[in-house]
Structure 1
């Protein structure tokens, strides 16, 4: 299982970022990662992809900056008290335990009067947007994030499929099903390298695809992989009968695009 994210070693943060066709710079790889993570977040917790300066920072700092934005840490001593709108009792326990573990001085300051709970466990039912972010990078004991790349790749493809009239798209992990005009198409995304000259390395995937096509209620089967320098076009693989499956390259080159600035 391929994992991506970050780990902490003393004062150093080690990033393990996804790499794919023409997404070579660290900034672009971080942006690609955040695009994938956005598929799991509520709207308020999503990262702004327009802020290209954001991706100059490592993943831990990117997450911390977003989490900080919910707590107005820059206003630790407001001039007047603010009206309480909502009390997040359940979430506040998570916040304080996370702040206690953080090396960020501002976060540690917010939790300086709170007790550390050695038996703390992540629970279900958090409702604050910051909780979505914290749960991705904090397991209750340490701050790190190592996610299944196949899972977030699949979720990204599912979310980015264009919605059309009379087309139904469902996520049935690890598959994506598209029902349109009486035809059911199965997409099976996997983060694996494909070399058209050495397709035998993907024989297991291909064999599984034909087995599903022959034995399950699907009409088409597409194996989806990240695009590479050698794998830029669909590959049609024919079976022993008239059945055939497609191997499809998925591109993330849109991660390299930056917002154009108007020139005077």
Structure 2
């Protein structure tokens, strides 16, 4: 398996981005992952600011095991209410029992008709009887930028287009944004694929502004304007833009 595009953990092996902005320690990189994972796992669980900081001192595998422990039901048996059907969620029961029996041989009976949060999280990160959670880092960055833009531009229409993001406002030229998690060097940015996408979008005529957003890094702190001969007779704007993730650390201090 090619791990280059993923962050997370595979058993005791942690996949953390290296040499990235001010995220220069395992603690900060774990904190970053726990924060960003909220955007992808929000229907399953979320890590509070306190948890992001307190659990970042632990390897990610143990951090997620700790989160599962918090979510597990505290009681195995619930008394059946009068005149109400007792519904056991077989799916939840099997998932939780498989996970807990692999550790303590203790069975837990779950009587909820809905899949419990603990069972949901287990199904995401307990695979083939081992802890594993690998998430595409480009997806994490896309979701982070999308959420930030929605908060910054509440008066505009911010749309998630899966491969990109658009920002529209009445009587203002629409803006299209491509996100990508890669390390950019000013003198050799290596962004030709993204520039090619921008050219196609501008040639179609719906957008004349395209921003290419990447994580801010020590060598990439300012916008890089991109000029293309193919578009020299058009009114357009293409920029490579650094986007800071440092607020994640500041918010948790």
User: TM-score band (shorter)?
Assistant: 0.7 to 0.9
With structure 2 as the length reference, what TM-score do the two structures score?
0.80
Tell me the alpha carbon deviations over residues 80-123 of structure 1, each in whole angstroms, 9 at most, x when there is no partner: x755697433322222223344xxx4xx333399xxxxxxxxxx
Tell me if 1:224 matches 2:223. Answer: no
Tell me if 1:197 matches 2:196. Answer: no
Q: What 5-or-longer segments of structure 2 have no aligned partner? A: 82-86
* Deviant stretches of 4+, over 4 Å: 81-87
1:96 and 1:72, CA in 2 relative to 1: closer, same or farther beyond 3 A?
A: closer
Tell me the alpha carbon deviations over residues 128-184 of structure 1, each in whole angstroms, 9 at most, x when there is no partner: 222342233123554312221111111121122215444122212121122223432
Q: How does 1:161-240 map to 2 (within 5 A)?
A: 161=149, 162=151, 164-182=153-171, 183-199=173-189, 201-215=190-204, 217-240=206-229
Q: Report the alpha carbon displacement of residue 64 of structure 1 after superposing the two structures with TM.
A: 1.0
Q: What 5-or-longer segments of structure 1 have no aligned partner? A: 114-124
* Map of 1:139 onto structure 2: 127
Q: Report the alpha carbon displacement of residue 43 of structure 1 after superposing the two structures with TM.
A: 6.8
Give the Cα separation in 2 of the matches to 1:131 and 1:184. Answer: 42
* 3-state SS in 2 of match to 1:110: coil
With structure 1 as the length reference, what TM-score do the two structures score?
0.77
* 3-state SS in 2 of match to 1:109: coil
* Map of 2:54 onto structure 1: 53
Give the Cα separation in 1 of the matches to 2:42 and 2:115. Answer: 10
Give the Cα separation in 2 of the matches to 1:135 and 1:248. Answer: 37
* Map of 1:21 onto structure 2: 21
* Map of 2:69 onto structure 1: 68
1:142 and 1:44, CA in 2 relative to 1: closer, same or farther beyond 3 A?
A: closer
Q: Report the alpha carbon displacement of residue 233 of structure 1 after superposing the two structures with TM.
A: 1.1
* 3-state SS in 1 of match to 2:131: coil
* Map of 1:118 onto structure 2: none
Q: Report the alpha carbon displacement of residue 247 of structure 1 after superposing the two structures with TM.
A: 0.7
Q: Is the 8 A contact 2:180 2:213 kept in 1?
A: yes
Give the Cα separation in 1 of the matches to 2:176 and 2:119. Answer: 33
Q: Report the alpha carbon displacement of residue 214 of structure 1 after superposing the two structures with TM.
A: 1.5
* Map of 1:111 onto structure 2: 107
* Map of 1:252 onto structure 2: 245
Aligned length: 234
Q: Is the 8 A contact 1:187 1:223 kept in 2?
A: yes
